[in-house]
Structure 1
Amino acid sequence: MGFTQDLARQTAELRARIHDMPFNRELAAGSLSADVFRGYIVQDAHYLEGFARALAAVAAKAPGPEEIAQLAGSSHGAIKAERTLHAHYMALFGVSDAQFRNAETSAACDHYVSFLLRVALVGDFAEGVAALLPCFWIYRDVGQRIAADAKPDNPFAAWIDTYASEEFNQGVERMLALTDRVGAAADAASRDRMHRAFARSCWHEWQFWDSAYHRRGWPIAS
């Protein structure tokens, strides 16, 4: 049994709940509020910039050129996604570049990015890989599930098609294979750190969508 299968078993309940979140159910039905999706796209664009930085930081710790190339390529891909998919929806929903740049990151976005960057910069290579994996894996699984259920002429078809695409799937499979290789070579203590990092990122994925759906910013002290 591969290491990623252990990770999947460990987080099966949480990942099942992500599939059943109102955000994803309504996105599949095409009934998600335009305001909710607009806010999500803005936060996701901010997130992907941080995610790309974390990928680059983990790539710098990679043991060999193959791993460096893979993670650096994924970092480039994250920026490309931000400039194409997000530009499409920001234009569609009337979000200007200035409005995007001036939009404050939500607490959920800030916490997720901060976690990834801390692990990427302070943790070892194996822990960094595990922390980065959920963004690939969960989005692929959610995208494929939604694509199977989405109604015709879904207004979010570009988003669905991106994450259900074979191109994205191939990138996810490469990341899963890398994680399996790293997990197989790691000692028990390192594998424990990988499990914790992976589970925490899965939680942040849930929190990000939940925050977007409920349009949460930063709690106000009272």
Structure 2
Amino acid sequence: MFCDEVWARTAKLLRAIHEHPFNTALGEGTLDRERFAFYIVQDARYLEAFAKALATAAVRATDPEEVAFWAQSAHGAIAAERTLHEGYIEEYGLTADDLAGVPTSPTALAYSSWLQAMALSAPYPVLAAAVLPCFWVYQDVGQALVSRSSETHPYRAWIATYADPSFEAAVTGAKEITDRLAASADEPTREAMAAAFVKATEYEWMFWDSAWRREGWPTSEWVS
């Protein structure tokens, strides 16, 4: 199956995601608040692009069940996950003006722009493969971390979201759709799907790495 193939193809990258200092500290509950706050703000920006890509997948799908799945997932990306983010933002005492003053990081902008480009220009099966890592990788990380988080873990709410059975069902749905599309695709399309899955998984690692570094624009001192 396509999903088995691309998961195996990205095995080293996935291991690097699990072993990244951001996720290691997140699992241990020792991740400093500044890094997590930076991550939450950037992820909220990314989710807007992700939701639009999912909504575009719903428009481009022809199977009614696939239309419903992508539309529901787009709603979930904005409603459920943004609600969690807003709760964390409130906890950190950030205002709307504070958020507006935080620049979108280069990596967040690159990932969001690439995903929107896939939504607008790539064939529908390639778009399905491009959005799959944001489902699957997060579930994989969440399930790995949830067993190490106690009731008093400072980031338990975030971890529990991606280890929840309802999110697992969404991941299963995305995988099943992608496998069906790959099974009926020609070889060039299937290769494009694999390349999109790999690229999105690379962006997932880069996103966590950028949060760990609290990535900024190296050119910011030269512009006003």
Question: Equivalences for 1:34-183 in 2 at 5 Å?
Answer: 34-183=33-182
Q: Quick check: 26-35 or 101-110, which moved more?
A: 101-110
Q: Unaligned regions of 5+ residues in structure 2, if any?
A: none
Cα distance in 2, alignment partners of residues 217 and 172 from structure 1: 32
Question: Equivalences for 1:8-47 in 2 at 5 Å?
Answer: 8-47=7-46
Deviation, structure 1 residue 63: 2.0
| Equivalent pair of 1:61/1:124 in contact (CA under 8 Å) | no
Q: CA RMSD in A?
A: 1.3
Aligned residues: 221
Cα distance in 1, alignment partners of residues 92 and 80 from structure 2: 17
TM, length-normalised to structure 1: 0.96
Cα distance in 2, alignment partners of residues 151 and 69 from structure 1: 36
Q: For the structure 1 residues 82 and 95, does the alpha-carbon distance in structure 2 shift closer, same or farther, using more than 3 Å as the test?
A: farther
Cα distance in 2, alignment partners of residues 194 and 106 from structure 1: 27
Query: What residue identity is the alignment partner of 1:16?
Result: R
Secondary structure, in 3 states, of the residue corresponding to 1:4? helix
Kindly provide the CA deviation profile for residues 2-30 of structure 1, in whole angstroms up to 9, marking residues without a partner as x.
11000101111101110111111101111
Cα distance in 2, alignment partners of residues 219 and 181 from structure 1: 43
TM, length-normalised to structure 2: 0.95
Cα distance in 1, alignment partners of residues 41 and 82 from structure 2: 12
Deviation, structure 1 residue 108: 0.5
Query: What residue identity is the alignment partner of 1:187?
Result: D
Cα distance in 1, alignment partners of residues 206 and 53 from structure 2: 19
Query: What residue identity is the alignment partner of 1:31?
Result: T
Deviation, structure 1 residue 94: 1.0
Query: What residue identity is the alignment partner of 1:64?
Result: D
What corresponds to 2:217 in structure 1? 218
Cα distance in 2, alignment partners of residues 167 and 146 from structure 1: 17
Kindly provide the CA deviation profile for residues 14-63 of structure 1, in whole angstroms up to 9, marking residues without a partner as x.
01110111111101111001000000000000100110011111221112
Cα distance in 2, alignment partners of residues 102 and 183 from structure 1: 42
Query: What residue identity is the alignment partner of 1:61?
Result: R
Secondary structure, in 3 states, of the residue corresponding to 2:206? helix
Q: Unaligned regions of 5+ residues in structure 1, if any?
A: none
| Equivalent pair of 1:143/1:161 in contact (CA under 8 Å) | yes
Q: Percent of pairs identical after alignment?
A: 43
What corresponds to 1:199 in structure 2? 198
Kindly provide the CA deviation profile for residues 93-121 of structure 1, in whole angstroms up to 9, marking residues without a partner as x.
11112322342210010000001000110
